[in-house]
Structure 1
């Protein structure tokens, strides 16, 4: 199976929403509106980076980066990350995350933060830091990859995540 990663381009919006909808469908941790997040971030000018995995011309995966903070440190929030269910487990999600993190290092932020599965993101270098909270509470799902030091404090994501 051959696929590539590229930056989102005009015309990818519907395919990104569909891949995200399919990837999160029926998941216990899903809020049910994950497919709307990329569009909300795009519409508010907060989509710092949007990468797609493509097989030929078909979008099979997506990852987004948007502004976030941990305490007083400017970071980038990673998510949603989505891969079509029929091609999951082939390294596409890991490649999208690793590519996004590599690009994120050029933005002059303190790191990348996300809410996600510690087993998956831990393999990619993310850690759950005891000094970091979300809405004032610790969460093992709050994962951080600091670029120099691991930031600490309360994590905040773009308002599109809480709308």
Structure 2
């Protein structure tokens, strides 16, 4: 998948993540977030879960991974939803619109795959630009989060309607222990 990045300051190729990207993505996550990323509540929905490999994307510039976004299967009160994160852009490339391009591409892919909505924890002004709104206060993550930072985007009409309850790893998608 290559998306039009003409509106960005630099040319990027956005494509599906591959197993060969693992080390480069881990290094990118370390540069972007440091070790503190492991204590965030969002990490509780990734531990013991399996990313949706057909929806995880990387951005490359001159062959180097400079951006990454992953989606994970979760349920909200028993209803399926994709959980977005982490979204990482190399600090030297931030501010160019690459993060929003990655999120938009991931949401398009999730919609095409039939997911009803995407949930995330993030910065409201940033994610509002790609269609996210504050989620219902009836949606509960497995730990504390500021209500204003819990965001959702419906991917089809009614996709985020009536979602309420605990957010948990989708048991049908979690790897076997």
Both structures adopt the same fold (TM-score exceeding 0.5): yes
CA distance in 2, matches of 1:155, 1:93: 28
1:121 alignment partner, SS class: helix
Once structures 1 and 2 are overlaid, which stretch shifts more, 1-10 or 54-63? 1-10
TM (normalized to structure 1)?
A: 0.80
8 Å CA contact retained: 2:50, 2:72: no
For residues 10-32 of structure 1, what are the alpha-carbon distances to aligned partners after superposition, in whole Å with 9 as ceiling and x for unaligned? 32100001111111138xxx534
How far 1:71 sits from its partner (Å)? 2.3
CA distance in 2, matches of 1:72, 1:144: 16
CA distance in 1, matches of 2:39, 2:127: 22
How far 1:46 sits from its partner (Å)? 3.5
TM (normalized to structure 2)?
A: 0.74
2:95 to 89, 98, 105: 89
Is 1:121 matched with 2:127? yes
Q: Determine the structure 2 residue equivalent to 1:47.
A: 52
Q: Determine the structure 2 residue equivalent to 1:156.
A: 167
CA distance in 2, matches of 1:15, 1:153: 36
Once structures 1 and 2 are overlaid, which stretch shifts more, 146-155 or 79-88? 146-155
Cα distance change on mapping 1:135 and 1:81 into 2, 3 Å: closer
Unpaired runs of 5+ residues, structure 1, are none
Count residues in correspondence. 152
- CA RMSD across the alignment: 2.7
